[in-house]
């Protein structure tokens, strides 16, 4: 799982996602926050969505 941080003024936007087949980035969720640490619930959401995506694609990457 990867996290991308984008800052716009005083706001920090974060996107979680993963690489699919080594060349496609699948973004699972995005959120805003001020602290450094990524909330565990956001990581769980991202992991669940990754599992769902891969099962629908028939992959177990």
Residue 35 in this model has a pLDDT that exceeds 80 = no
Residue 61: the pLDDT is 54
How far is Cα of residue 45 from the mean position of the Cα atoms in its chain?
A: 8
- In this prediction, residues 22-37 reach a mean pLDDT of 90
Distance CA 50, CA 44 (A): 10
pLDDT in tens, 6-19: 999 988 899 999 99
Q: Are strands 2-8 and 24-32 parallel, antiparallel or unpaired?
A: unpaired
Can you tell me the distance from the alpha carbon of 17 to that of 34, in angstroms, rounded to the nearest whole number? Answer: 20
- pLDDT category, 36, cuts 50, 70, 90? confident
**Residues 19/30, Cβ–Cβ less than 8 Å:** no
């Amino acid at each position: 799982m990867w996290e991308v941080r984008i800052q716009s003024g005083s706001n920090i936007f974060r996107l979680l996602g993963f690489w699919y087949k080594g060349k496609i980035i699948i973004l699972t969720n995005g959120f805003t926050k001020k602290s450094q640490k990524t909330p565990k619930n956001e990581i769980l959401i991202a992991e669940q969505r990754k599992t769902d995506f891969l099962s629908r694609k028939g992959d177990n990457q």
